[in-house]
Amino acid sequence: MAKFENITFNIKNYSVIFNETSKNFHITLTIKVNQDAIQSCRYSIDGRIGEVRHSKCLLGEEYDDFTVTDLPPYIKNTIVMDLNNNCGTVDNDALDFTTYHVQNLTISTEGNGSVSVQCVYAESSTADGCHVIFTHTVSGRNESFNVTGSGNTIISLPASGSYTVIAFDIYNGSLYGPSLEHFKQVNVILDSPDHSTTVYPTSTNSPPNVSVSVPPSPIDVESPDNDSKIAILYN
């Protein structure tokens, strides 16, 4: 939270939504500004992604929504929110976000090398699932597997130690990403040293007919057309 002369302003939360018709995404942010700053149209909010900007006048609401539409897929973005008055910008906040289907992972250790993984998708996502890679921080060995639908998958990792985790979108049978890099470190302890990798899917959804492999270098994603338009809508 940032402050300026009894003014507080920050981004409270946000959601990324997939539009199946356009195949693009939009993001809606909830903004909180204290009552001192919103008594009149003296204050406004600017939202900026790259060179695209739009202003919204504050009309006496403590919480307000700000929506950016027509964002192309598979892009890492930063939105900068500026609080302005007649003297210029007095405060700001920023948010990093991506327009990938996979927005987060839920990971928990289950004991003796077993780890449960669940993908968290953008709202209205139609992704097949996500491809997750665990990399041992000492040996560098990779263990990869698919998580389909909204269910979770349990993988049994072969060695004790710390693992870094990255994830890719699986959309229409293809991999895109990585959608999450350096997500977190997962610490695994095995009761016995002789342990092989086993994957136990627990999703109630039928897995898609997908055959994927992980290349040694990052997956190339076709860049969006430079003429793609970004529109900012506001209430």
Looking at the DSSP assignment, which residues form a beta bridge with residue 54?
47
- Predicted model pTM: 0.76
**184 and 154 housed in the same domain:** yes
- Residue 7 lies in domain: 2-99
**Assigned domain for 230 exists:** no
pLDDT: which is higher, 207 or 85: 85
**131 and 161 housed in the same domain:** yes
pLDDT digits (tens, 9 = 90+) for 130-154: 999 999 999 999 999 999 988 889 9
With a cut of 70, say whether residue 206 has pLDDT above it: no
Closest to 99 (Cα-Cα) out of 169, 188, 174, 10: 169
- Domain of 85, CATH number, reads 2.60.40.10
Distance between CA atoms of residues 206 and 148, nearest Å: 8
pLDDT band at residue 126 under the 50/70/90 scheme: very high
pLDDT: which is higher, 212 or 125: 125
With a cut of 50, say whether residue 205 has pLDDT above it: no
Distance between CA atoms of residues 168 and 117, nearest Å: 13
Burial code (b: 16+ CB inside 10 Å, e: under 16) for 28-61 equals bbebbbeeebbeeeebebbbbbeeeebebebeee
**29 and 91 housed in the same domain:** yes
